[in-house]
Amino acid sequence: MAFKTLEWKKGKLVLLDQTRLPLKEVYVECLTYQEVAQAIKNMVVRGAPAIGVAAAFGMLLGARESNARTPATFRREMDKVSQTLLATRPTAVNLLWAVERMKRVAEENMGKGMLVVGKKLQEEALRLLEEDVQTNRELGRQGQILIPDGCSILTHCNAGALATAGYGTALGVIRAAFEAGKRIHVFIDETRPFLQGSRLTAWELMKDGIPCTLIADNMAGALMAQGKIQLTIVGADRIVANGDVANKIGTYSLARLCHVHRIPFYVAAPTSTIDLSIKRGEAIPIEQRSPAELTSFNGRRITPEGMRVLNPAFDVTPHRYVTAIITEKGIIQKFFRTGLKKICFPPSYFSPSREEGWEGRRRR
């Protein structure tokens, strides 16, 4: 990668400012957890896995700022930090997942003094970052078998290196297919209103020399009808127990259009995006963003004054329109409920005795 989406450098979180791409490659430094929260809210950093990692560093910065002398005070302070971070964007579950992981590490080391806690938190945040890149590479390696040679692929939003700590989820699969020597062509939905497609995905793919063509969101259906798209692959912000997928607004329409055109619709996401605590997609909180994203452009108004706007950032795609979910631990097709559970709680998760118990119960 010729760029780093996020990097920990001398006690600061350095973020590639995604609101300025592709015209300017500007890096922003966050010195406090509030700055991290603001960067997530303003989409300086975005994409479910990337905001998870950013939030982990936000927790670390929050802990470093603390002057707490007792575990109880520290716990209260960290609760405040985590609430601030969680309040930024409600849909991506990776945020919650990363914050919880950091909290657990803090809790486990609470008895060992503040210095140890700080060190352990830094280790954990760096591990999360490193893990995310590895996860994406593995996800890409597994997923690329679904990409036939010579095919045209549609992608929506940006599920690339910019949406993760590196390599990407949906774009990770595309990258892996390209690296495997497959001749592919990517159609990029521009993805209104934030233009993650025309600004970010276009930038990434052009940098890597992967052949690509930009289209407006409303062109996808017509291209499918003309047989110009052989498969669609997107990322996810949250995948719930039954396989329903929350992802960037417009994903649902694409999934339905793929369905009626008999085009495979793949979702690529790390297991950290899976949320088994929610049974069905309807219960996923959907973030509503500012009307300004639709009413103005580069700070200049484009609509009549007083325009009423609906601007949900995400939609939910029911699992029956998802051909397969690609994770770093394997590909799930059909029977998502069982598949997702297996991937999140593999047999090794259970202790031998517990497994035996299971087996025993089954045999009886």
Distances (CA, A) of 67 to 71, 77, 185, 309: 11, 9, 54, 44
Beta bridge partners, 297, equal 300
Query: Which residues, in sequence order, are bridge partners of residue 186?
Result: 153, 212
Q: Which is nearer to a copy of itself, 277 or 290 (CB)?
A: 290
Q: Which residues contact 222 (CB under 8 A, 6 or more apart)?
A: none
Contact assessment for residue 17 and residue 50, using Cβ atoms and an 8 Å cutoff: no
How large is the angle between the packed helices 71-86 and 33-41, nearest 10 degrees?
20
Binding positions for a copy of itself, 73-132, rule CB under 8 A: none
Alpha carbon distance 359, 364 (integer Å):
9
Q: How far is the CB of 203 from a copy of itself (least distance, A)?
A: 5
Distance of CA 172 to the CA centre of its chain: 12
Report in angstroms how near the CB of residue 326 gets to a copy of itself at its nearest: 22
303 binding a copy of itself? (CB under 8 A): yes
CA separation for the pair 135, 270 (Å, rounded): 7
- Catalytic annotation present for 275: no
Site for a copy of itself contains 187 (CB under 8 A): yes
CA–CA distance, 207 with 176 (Å, rounded to integer):
15
Residue 189: CB minimum distance to a copy of itself, A: 7
* By the rule CB under 8 A, 220 interacts with a copy of itself: yes
Is there binding between residue 133 and a copy of itself (CB under 8 A)? Answer: no
The residue behind tokens 């280790």 is 123
Q: Identify the residue whose tokens are 């990322």.
A: 235
311 binds a copy of itself (CB under 8 A): yes
Provide the minimum distance between the beta carbon of 156 and a copy of itself in the complex, in angstroms, as a whole number. Answer: 8
Using CB under 8 A, pick the residue from 112, 279, 307, 349 that binds a copy of itself: 307
199 scored as a contact of a copy of itself (CB under 8 A): yes
Q: Please identify which of the residues 132, 237, 244, 315 carries the catalytic annotation.
A: 237
DSSP code, position 196: I
Q: Does 297 bind a copy of itself (CB under 8 A)?
A: yes
Q: Which phi and psi (to 5°) does residue 72 adopt?
A: -65, -45
Asked if 301 interacts with a copy of itself (CB under 8 A), we say yes
Determine which residue in the list 38, 230, 253, 333 makes contact with a copy of itself, applying CB under 8 A: 253
Residue 322 near residue 252, CB atoms below 8 Å: no
Residue linked to tokens 């679904």? 146
Binding of a copy of itself at residue 309 (CB under 8 A)?
yes
Contacts of 34 (CB under 8 A, 6+ apart): 84
State yes or no: residue 20 binds a copy of itself (CB under 8 A).
no
Size of the site for a copy of itself (CB under 8 A): 55
Q: Which of 1, 219, 276, 344 binds a copy of itself (CB under 8 A)?
A: 219
Q: Does 212 bind a copy of itself (CB under 8 A)?
A: yes
- Interface with a copy of itself (CB under 8 A), residue from 222, 290, 334, 345: 222
Query: Catalytic amino acids?
Result: 237
Contact positions vs a copy of itself (CB under 8 A): 22-23, 156, 187, 189-193, 195, 198-199, 202-203, 206, 211-223, 225, 249-250, 252-253, 256-257, 259-260, 294-295, 297-298, 300-304, 306-312, 315-316
